[in-house]
Amino acid sequence: MKRHSALSVMALLAIILSFTATGNAYASRCYNTSQFEAEQGLRIHSELMVIGLTCQLIPGYSGLYGQYQQFTHKNRTLIADYENRLINFYKTRGSGEPTKKLHTLRTDIANEISQHAITMSVTSFCNHFSPRLERALSMDQATLQRWARQIWPDQKTSTPLCRQDEAALIKEASARPRTTPERKYIRR
Rounding to the nearest 10 degrees, give the CA dihedral for residues 154, 76, 27, 108.
50
179 near 143, Cβ under 8 Å? yes
What confidence score (pLDDT) does residue 21 get? 40
Q: In the predicted model, what is the mean pLDDT of residues 41-61?
A: 94
Q: How far, CA to CA in Å, does 35 sit from each of 32, 61, 93, 144?
A: 5, 33, 13, 15
The contacts of residue 51 (CB under 8 Å, 6+ apart) are: 64, 68, 125, 126, 129, 130, 132, 133
Q: In the predicted model, what is the mean pLDDT of residues 22-33?
A: 65
What confidence score (pLDDT) does residue 133 get? 95
pLDDT digits (tens, 9 = 90+) for 134-145: 999 999 999 999
What confidence score (pLDDT) does residue 103 get? 96
Instruction: Please state, in angstroms and rounded to a whole number, the distance separating the CA atoms of residues 85 and 68.
Output: 22
